[in-house]
Amino acid sequence: MQKTALIITVIIFMTVSCNQQKSSPLDNWKAGSANDDVFIEMTQDDMEALIKNDLPYLEIDWQYSTERTYDEIENWATNVKQRADKAGITIWSVHLPFGGPFDISQTNDTLRQKAVELNMNDMILSAKIVSPKKFVIHPSAEPIADEERAARIEASKKSLRELASKAKELNIPLLVENLPRTCLGNTSTELLEIINGIDNTAICFDVNHLLIEPQVSFVQNTIGKIQTTHMSDYDRKNERHWLPGEGVINWTELLTALIESGYKGPFIYEASKGKEPNIVTIQSLGDRWKKLKQNYIQ
The model's pLDDT over 80-139, given as tens digits with 9 standing for 90+, comes to 999 999 999 999 999 999 999 999 999 999 999 999 999 999 999 999 999 999 999 999
pTM value is: 0.92
Cα four-point dihedral sign 206, 212, 215, 221: negative
Torsion angles phi and psi, residue 167, rounded to 5 = -60, -35
Choosing among 3.30.70.940, 3.20.20.150, 3.30.230.70, 3.40.1390.30, the CATH entry for 25-297 is 3.20.20.150
Domain residue ranges of the chain, discontinuous segments joined by +: 25-297
| End-to-end CA gap in the chain | 38
The model's pLDDT over 173-211, given as tens digits with 9 standing for 90+, comes to 999 999 999 999 999 999 999 999 999 999 999 999 999
Phi-psi region of 48 (alpha: psi -120 to 50; beta: other; left: phi over 0): alpha
Give a three-class secondary structure readout of 181-204. CCCCCCCHHHHHHHHCCCCCEEEE
Q: Where are the beta strands (DSSP E) in the chain?
A: 31-34, 57-61, 90-95, 134-137, 174-177, 201-206, 226-230, 267-269
- What's the Rg (C-alpha) of the chain? 21
Torsion of the alpha carbons at 150, 214, 93 and 289, rounded to the nearest 10:
170
The mean pLDDT value for 50-62 works out to: 98
Torsion angles phi and psi, residue 141, rounded to 5 = -110, -165
